[in-house]
Structure 1
Amino acid sequence: MAAQSRPSKGTAGSPLRVATNSFEIVRRPRATYYHYDDIKPEVGKSHRAHEIIYKLQEDNPQVFTPRAVYDGRANLFSTRNINSGENPRPRGIYYQNYAGCDNPAEARHIAIVSAIFSYYPSDIDQLTMPGGAGANTNTMAVNLLQIIIRQAPNIRHGFSPDARSFFTSSHSKDLAQGLQAWHGFFQSVRPVLGRLLINVDVANAVVYAPGPLETLAMRFLNLRDVRDLDRVRPGSPEWQKLRQFLKGVSVTLKTTRSVRARPIKDLVAQGGLFEFEKDNKITTVQASNILIGEHFQQHHNIRLRFPKIFGVRIGKDAVLPAEVCTVAHGQVYKKKLSPEMQSNFLKFSTQRPDARLRQIQEGISGPTQVLDYATSHFIQEAGMEIGTMPININGRVLPTPSIKYQNQVLNLIAKSGKWNVVRQRLEKPGTLNAWAIVVFDQQANTNVVQGFVRKLQGNLASLGITTRGEPFIAEGHPYQVEDSLQHAASQSVRGAPPGTAPSLLLVLLPNSAAEIRRKVKHWGDVTVGVPTQCIRQGKWEPAKDQYCNNVALKQVAQSPNNQFFINDYLQNQCKDRGCELSLGYNLNASRYHGADVGHPGPGVKDRPSVTGLVASVDAEATRYTAYAGVQEPRTEIIANLADMLRSAIRDFVMYWKGRYPLNIVFYRDGVSEGEYAQVAAQEVNAINEVLLSLPQLNPKGEWLPGTKAYQPGAKPKLVFIVVGKRQVVHHIRFFPLQAGEADSSGNCPPGFVVDDQITNAMYPDFYLQSHSGIQGTSRPSHYIVIENELGLTADIYQDLSFKLCHVYASATRSVSIPAPVYYADRVCARAENHFSESLRFGESDAGTTVSGPDPPFELERWQNGFNIGRLNRQMFFL
């Protein structure tokens, strides 16, 4: 599908000029680059590949002067034609005998055959023209620019030359358990209309503390003496935890000889006493006067002091005692942090906007110039020059919408993006027929619990919600979660007509109770179909008005009697037909979708990705149905989109008693720049194919074969917008130039929008900062318009997106992305609780060493063990 033609820029709102963390390439590359992508044999993983290519260039200066740049995979770029007649080896074959190879078989030859393409300055200029970055060859030109700017600083700081971010130990902070927080920088070339920019941002990472391996193990297990590691043996819980923690950590040998870091494959008990075969004799790693295995003393002048502590297996058969290993510098920790460490890391990484911009500027033009733009010989060889000041751009602050309640229309507090629901009644309040409170927090005080419940009842009454009778309060047993919930549910409906189900179970949890919460959600969502709401210790005890109101709003949104509630909705301030169509105030005009894919954690290969779709059913875009599914791990395109969409349309038709949607506005989360075209080709087409083939639905909700819901030419018009907010998608930030123009956190006020100067050269797009900052530097969301069959103007789809950020059901402030996108993300997260127990607890040990290629993923097993649940027509995911 071709990119959409760019509409005129938006004009609504008041102007605001800001700085952004983008720096212009004021002189573009003037050199011609020859591109080689056939490097044989393949050199494997990126870090190893860089080592080999680096040594190859070092050993052949007559060919590789100036140095070529390499992406760590298959692409090498040189300003000199390597295979020209002037070179001594015109066929491009160079022999590599890499010093430090543990295995002589690793000494190999590298063959670089003829260049496949040449990139001229005109090719780089093409990137800034409309649609210029979309062609395949131009995509590779962008990759060339990326590695030119990244190579020098990454090599200087000890990271892979093609890494998007590097980190330094300067001003680092110890977190706990052998982990540290480091500051660093992210950098990326961004072709925009009319110019090339480099987006530079502060990056933060958790890394393994470098230094002696035994010290890292002691910190992780909270041991004070290295001898305590003697007691950590196979089969113990400490062994399993340490094994999982250290797997993949790269170590070097404590020796003056330079040896590359290699990853840990597994742990070995009593590493200093491990027996191995040498010269056809059995010996041990421990230096000994009796045995001939004085290996480390003879070869490395290291005598083991603690031979009984663990060792590590490196490669196929090498074993090293822990005390001879050093943890390599700057290894990023990618596993899940504990809540306490996550909180400490957040504090470390939080910066006010002015401090963040100052740190970025110092990285480029400060005394140390850690980004090396002025001194990098790679940049100099390209003929590039990069500006040292962040560019200033013009944006606009959109008008804030009004929020309507039963008794009045609320205007938002200036620059705050929030409102107060105290003494406000919902537009169409309903009833909680029966509900219960289950207390799993064993330290909870009964009087405090009852006080919280009374306060909550008062807030519900103020919002206009009727509660029939007092809620049943029960004590929950942590080891009998389902039984406790079932008992409370049964007691809450005593005296009610047969078949009555509780409207809601409110569950009070201790501070750390992830497993109890999972069981609560599985019981409520899947087993019995009763909405549940969990509140953690420390949240409910103060019983503050605003918090209780937020809890009440969640209760209202989840209640089965709330199918026709409207918590709040946006005043229709648009008068033209296009705005009416886009906002859905024409009762059977538009419906809004949000879709997302949730992927397993880093390094997890034996769990599927989860897909989620929500779709509005009411005219005000406040009520949604939800669907989910599973697919192959780390697959971004939604495989079951057609099935979920058909089910969601059925809900809409049943809600409106036979009416079908006339327009569809679809927000898609989590798509990276390189996937826009793929989404357009597959997901947009899948939606259109569903709409074109959709049969009619009878009053019982059954599809009628051989019928068509839409007559030829009457297919609903589709608007498809990708929304990117997460850090893996973009790093653009905005910084007010005047303190008086900022909100209370120093960020741009809610509604700040930018739709030119830094926008995409391929698709119509805009940045919208829809929320007020709370702490740190706010991240705007990036909206890319992939399809616009309604022909909406920039003003309309920007205004629509901003308004949809104000209808998130449980918030009394604007949020950072439109509500349907937010809901889809919540559906994916909630789906983790919808797997059967055997799948939940049957994963393989993350520390187990598996040799050979990964086994085929058993998708069917996960599909069979997944249940969408009983509450998909309610907003159970809140």
Structure 2
Amino acid sequence: MQSLRITEQQIRSSPSPSETTVKQLKPVNRPDRGTIAVKPIKLLANHFRVKYNPRTTIMHYDVDIKQLGPDGQPLKKLIPKPKLYLIRDQLFEDYPDMFPIDKIVYDGERNIFSAIQLPTGKFKVVLSDGENSKTRIYMFSIKLVRDCLMRSLLQAPRNMLQGLDLVMKDNPFRHRISIGRSFYSTEYRASDDLRCGAAAYRGFKQSLKLTSQGPALSVDYSVMAFHKPQPVLEFLNEHIPNFSIDRFDTFKQQVIDAIGGLKVNVTHRVTKQKFTISRLTDGKTRDLSFELRDPEGKNPPRTVSVVDYFRDRYGVEIKHKDISCLDLGKNNMSNFVPIEFCVLVEGQRFLKENLDFEAGRLLKRISQPPPEQRRDAIHEIMHAEGGPCGAVTQSFGIGIEKSMTHLMGRILPAPDLKLGASERVLVNDKGQWDLAENSLVEGRPVLRWALIDFTAFEYRHRLKERYFVSNLKQRCKELRIHLEDPLIHRRTNMQELSNAKKVEDLLKNVVEDANKKTPGKLQVIVCVMGLKHYGYKYLKWVSETKIGVVTQCCLSKNANEARHQYLGHLCMKLNAKLGGSNVELMERLPHFEGEDHVMFIGADVNHPSAHNSTGPSMAAVVATVNWPAANRYAARVFPQEHRKEKILSFGSMCAELVNTYARLNYVKPKKIVIFRDGVGESQLSMVLNEELDDFKKAICDAKYQPTVTLVVAQKRHPTRMFLQNRRDGGGSSNVPPGTVVDTVVVHPSEFDFYLYSHYGSIGTSKPTHYYVIHDENRFTSDDLQRLIYNLCFTSARCTKSVSLIPPVFYADLVAYRGRLFQEVVREMESPVSSSSSSSSSSSSSSSSSAASFQRMFYDVHPDLQNSMFFI
């Protein structure tokens, strides 16, 4: 009997029960093309046009792979993706005439696309990892879903470009290390050795997009740190300072921290199998033994030592018998292998946060080449053997132009700014302005504050307290902020930051001492540290959720140098946290020149690292609470389901913020613009049909119906642009700030554009991609582009236009703050981890406490709830 299987594509094309009653919203169409410009600018984009024969037919097949048990019945067992590729390769090797490898692409899951008709049905595949490994039998079932003319593939891009995308990825997939949409060389340059067991591997990322010029492949240079494929002992010698195998027990914890969870191959026998390091054995190799079973069951089990087993079975003598073995077992079964026989598998990412300072700096330098070098690297990629062009693309009748796309951009005018009492501030061609001769718009007096000096007992990093306070007061005065002497001077050491309880006791004591001097609430606590410290998270969690006083941290080195610019930025952050106004636009924002109140909302989700398999994601929403300046924000942060991109409490968080706006301004905003960060094109429908619906249900009623515009801001995309004429970019050769592109490389009909709102002084600038998916405020292209660009000048943290619109950037800061809170909460339930260093944060944990998901631990203190505590 033939079983019925519904594929993912069929699900997409078939209406769900909800779709039969509720019409799904689609992104809005582009209203027009922008025209406003100071001047046009000639650009090159890393988009490479895809040529195809519209009459070419592509066959789409559904694949189902099951492992068979001893009785020949399918096992209910999940097969990992790398294994699925091995099964596919074995099938193609067994039946080369029926499955020609250069005419077929596979996504590693359920889909095969072919340039020719393939046989359908079921095929048995026998797979073995090599010597002494059991063979496994799999049933590979293949069924035709549809055959499509290339013409029809391009009429529904989000559903049907999958096949084309797989064709483009096939050649680099065969030649390079594959990580998501990125592909890296299998070798590294000698100059890219990071000297800590890792190296910087160069490669590229690519994305197939449907643009105004047709389908185009966007290709960008990329660098990633990987573990070097070397013997484990060599890695330990490189990675752990002063490591010595003769003192192995001294370094045991560092060893397991460094290699736990990594994959290795073994050298004592012939096998392709990859093993995962689960732990180090407690005992030494010479003392270890295990129960050896006869695979045929003829002889009873016997106990054998690891040393004897390797000598008798493989003819090898273990050299290092006085150290631990690696346990490579799984499913609670042990598999002891001496470290000297283990080699790290290639293609394993090395987390950037685990690099030392020098290695991190080298990786950053390699990753950020200037525009000319990046453009040359992309050119080399397009002509490389392991690039996007290969035999498979030719088999599908697809060609890729190897020259970048020529296009015209427009440079928008910078807005006029207001600082202090001056009427107008000059913005230079880098989108920057000077605070040296200007003051802030509204400086909040700082009458009650405390100074905690965590460097009092450190010789090298000791704070020059009087010097710092004197210079800070003088800089505040220049910026029109009245700063009194601190009420409390508390001198202590960094040990006070070692856990949340100590921090809470310290801050409570400081607050009580301040109240004893003069009744009233402290406005801010300035904390000076000798070095960056993992206790920063305790300080922020305690001050912002339990004490209700904002803190401002700085390093003693910067405080002692007291540079004019540094102190200016410190004053700006203090002023913003206390409710002051640093900079404002001289004119009303474009499109909103009337009297109606307008609110801007930013939303983002921060996910736990790849090594954390259970921790909550952090949803953050910020919103403006003043108009027309629109430069003060309130924030909410909420823990939610692990790695859930949809903001589950979006409506309720926004309702709180709208009510806050009404309480402060005595009126609710009549117009709202939402900027959503962190979603790709495949998630636009979720944002549009689920989050927006939740938002409207939470805030709208018969008496309140604001008009809403929803814009997605995307930074993680591969599109880069380069100047055709270097002289157009000033000293850095980057695309100048204010450059907007809404032709050629954008969507054929939907409302999106790329905006360079910042000056890039290092590396190659990346534009932010703004995608308008819902618009009840009826923006023109010019109005929305200028609105976003102008808002980029209102950041409270700096004196320049920023690369990402402030509502989104602030939401990102708040989501990260929630991540810090989560680390503290987790440690409170697992006190053993609270004494560890910053490297033992939740990023390296696969567990998460139940408290981590409870909102009460993330609720900001009522006194700070509507302040910019996160700046």
- Fold agreement, TM-score > 0.5: yes
1:529 corresponds, among 538, 543, 548, to 548
- Tell me, yes or no, if the aligned pair for 1:734 and 1:748 is still in contact at 8 Å: yes
SS of equivalent residue, structure 2 residue 304: strand
**Residue 770 of structure 1 aligns to which amino acid in structure 2?**
S
Secondary structure of the corresponding residue to residue 154 of structure 2:
helix
Q: Are residues 110 and 826 of structure 1, via their aligned partners in 2, closer, same or farther at CA, if it must alter by over 3 Å?
A: same
**Is contact 2:461–2:530 with CA below 8 Å preserved after alignment?**
no
Is the alpha carbon distance of 1:828 and 1:95 closer, same or farther for their aligned partners in structure 2, counting shifts above 3 Å? Answer: closer
Aligned to 1:97: 127
Give the secondary-structure state (helix, strand or coil) at the position aligned to 1:94.
strand
1:163 offset after TM fit, Å?
4.9
SS in 1 for 2:495: coil
1:572 to 584, 587, 609: 587
Q: Is the 8 A contact 1:835 1:867 kept in 2?
A: no
Residues 120 and 802 of structure 1: CA distance in aligned 2, closer, same or farther (over 3 Å): same
2:375 to 348, 351, 357: 357
The residue type paired with residue 84 of structure 2 is A
1-side partners of 2:58 and 2:779: how far apart? Answer: 42
Pick closer, same or farther for the CA change 1:123–1:414 going to 2, 3 Å: same
Contact 2:229–2:343 (CA under 8 A) maintained in structure 1: yes
Residue aligning to 1:798 = 785
Contact 2:43 2:723 in 1 (8 A): yes
User: How far off is 1:255 after superposition?
Assistant: 5.2
* Equivalent residues of 1:157, 1:166 under 8 A apart: yes
- The secondary structure found in structure 2 opposite 1:170 is coil
1:839 aligned partner: 826
Instruction: Choose which of 31, 34, 56 in structure 2 pairs with 1:10.
Output: 34
Residue aligned with 1:681, SS? helix
Whether the 8 Å CA contact 1:168–1:183 is kept in 2: the answer is no
Contact 1:32 1:118 in 2 (8 A): yes
Kept in 2: contact 1:29–1:124 (CA 8 A):
no
Flag the 1:23–1:409 CA change in 2: closer, same or farther, 3 A: farther
Does 640-649 or 72-81 show the bigger shift? 72-81
Q: More displaced, 446-455 or 274-283? A: 446-455
* Deviation of 1:421 (Å): 1.1
Match of 1:722 in 2: 712
- Cα drift, residue 133 of structure 1: 1.9
1:721-800 counterparts in 2 under 5 A? 721-725=711-715, 729-761=716-748, 763-800=750-787
Query: Percent of aligned pairs with the same residue?
Result: 24
C-alpha distance in structure 2 between counterparts of 1:856 and 1:444, whole Å: 38
Residue-by-residue CA offset, 1:283-329 (whole Å, 9 max, x unaligned): 1222x4xxxx2x36643x43211133332233433332111111122
1:323 corresponding residue in structure 2: 340
Partner of 2:5: none
**Which residue does the alignment assign to 2:84?**
49
CA deviations 1:92-128 (Å, max 9, x no partner) are 3233233528652x511322232112232112332xx
The answer to whether the Cα contact below 8 Å between 2:624 and 2:633 also exists between their aligned partners in 1 is yes
Residues 55-102 of structure 1, C-alpha deviations (whole Å, 9 max, x = no match): 11111112112442111122122223222xxxxxx6332332335286
* Corresponding residue number in structure 2 for 1:631: 640
Q: Which residue of 2 aligns with 1:165?
A: 183
Distance in 2 (CA, whole Å) between partners of 1:15 and 1:467 is: 47
| CA-CA distance at 1:752 after TM superposition | 0.9
Does the residue aligned with 1:424 lie in a helix, a strand or coil? Answer: coil
Q: SS of 2:581's equivalent?
A: coil
Instruction: Tell me: CA distance 1:456–1:444, structure 2 relative to 1, closer, same or farther (3 Å).
Output: farther
From 468, 482, 485, the counterpart of 2:504 = 482
Structure 2 CA distance for partners of 1:310 and 1:216, relative to 1, 3 Å: farther
Distance, in Å, in 2 between the alignment partners of 1:159 and 1:296 is: 38
Distance in 1 (alpha carbons) for counterparts of 2:344 and 2:822: 38
Q: 1:336 — aligned with what?
A: 353
What residue is the counterpart of 1:283 in the other structure?
Answer: 304
Amino acid at match of 2:346: H
- What's 1:451 paired with? 467
The 2-side partners of 1:339 and 1:259 are apart by 33
The CA distance in 1 between the partners of 2:799 and 2:276, in whole Å, is 48
Judge conservation of contact 1:669–1:722 (CA < 8 Å) in 2: yes
Q: Secondary structure at the match of 1:744?
A: helix
Asked whether the 8 Å contact 1:31–1:381 carries over to 2, the reply is no
Pair 1:267-2:280 in alignment: yes
Question: Is residue 2:597 matched to residue 1:589?
Answer: yes
Residue pair 1:608, 1:862 contacting (<8 A) in 2 also: no
Counterpart of 1:325, as a letter, is C
Contact 1:271 1:307 in 2 (8 A): yes
Deviation of 1:424 after TM superposition, in Å, equals 1.4
1:424 aligns with 2:438: yes
Residue 664 (structure 2) aligns with: 655
Q: CA deviation at 1:838?
A: 5.0
Report what 2:21 is aligned to. Answer: none
Out of 162-171 and 60-69, give the one that drifted further.
162-171
Distance 1:790 1:271, change over 3 A: farther
Give distance in 2, aligned partners of 1:145 and 1:450: 66
Deviations 1:698-730 (CA, angstroms, capped at 9, x unpaired) = xxxxxxxxxx542xxxx10001101111xxx30
Letter in structure 2 aligned against 1:265 = S
| 2: CA distance, partners of 1:150 / 1:296 | 46
In structure 1, how many angstroms separate the alpha carbons of the residues matched to 2:828 and 2:724?
53
Structure 1 match to 2:266: 253
| Kept in 2: contact 1:439–1:507 (CA 8 A) | yes
1:642 aligns with 2:659: no
Q: Which among 137, 146, 166 is matched to residue 117 of structure 1? A: 146
The answer to whether 1:78 aligns with 2:108 is: no
Amino acid at match of 2:525: L
What is the CA-CA distance between 1:385 and the residue it aligns to?
1.1
Q: Aligned to 2:347, what secondary structure does the other structure show?
A: coil
Q: Which residue number corresponds to residue 679 of structure 2?
A: 671
Match of 1:549 among 542, 563, 568: 568
Q: Give the whole-Å Cα distance in 2 for the aligned partners of 1:418 and 1:530.
A: 32
Question: Is 2:868 aligned against 1:875?
Answer: yes
CA offsets 1:506-554 (integer angstroms, 9 cap, x no match): 1111213121x12221221011111101112433222111111100011
Could you tell me the TM-score, scaled by structure 1's length? 0.86
Deviations 1:658-679 (A, max 9, x none): x111000111111111100111
Give SS of 1:514's match. Answer: coil
TM-score (norm 2): 0.87
SS in 2 for 1:719: strand
C-alpha distance in 1 between matches for 2:848 and 2:543:
33
Q: How many pairs are equivalent?
A: 802
Q: 1-side partners of 2:31 and 2:851: how far apart? A: 43
Amino acid corresponding to residue 136 of structure 2 in structure 1 = A
- Counterpart of 1:705 in structure 2 is none
Q: Tell me how far apart the structure 1 counterparts of residues 427 and 369 of structure 2 sit (CA, whole Å).
A: 25
Contact 2:746–2:752 (Cα < 8 Å) also in 1:
yes
Matched, 1:503 2:523: yes
Shift in CA distance, 647/556, structure 1 to aligned 2, threshold 3 Å: same
1:302 aligned to 2:322? no
Q: Deviations over 1:188-235 (max 9, x none)?
A: 211213411111111111111211112112333224543333x25xxx
- Alpha-carbon distance in structure 1 between the residues aligned to 2:848 and 2:867: 36
Gaps of 5+ in 1: 84-89, 127-131, 233-237, 694-707, 849-853
1:807-846 pair list within 5 angstroms? 807-835=794-822, 839-842=826-829
Alpha-carbon distance change, 617 to 80 in structure 1, aligned in 2, over 3 angstroms: same
Q: Considering only aligned residues, what root-mean-square deviation do their CA atoms show, in Å? A: 2.7
Contact 2:225 2:352 in 1 (8 A): no
SS state at 1:169 partner: coil
Query: In the alignment, which residue of structure 2 is the partner of 1:58?
Result: 93
Structure 2: distance between partners of 1:522 and 1:856: 18
For 1:807, give the aligned amino acid.
T
Distance in 2 (alpha carbons) for counterparts of 1:692 and 1:684: 11
Label 1:283 to 1:381 Cα distance change in 2 as closer, same or farther (>3 A). same
1:431-465 C-alpha deviation (Å, 9 max, x unpaired): 11211221112347777332222111111111111
Out of 392, 395, 398, the position equivalent to 2:412 is: 398
The structure-2 alpha-carbon separation of the partners of 1:360 and 1:409, relative to structure 1 and needing over 3 Å to count, comes to: farther
- Structure 1 pair 598/856, CA: closer, same or farther in 2 (3 Å)? closer
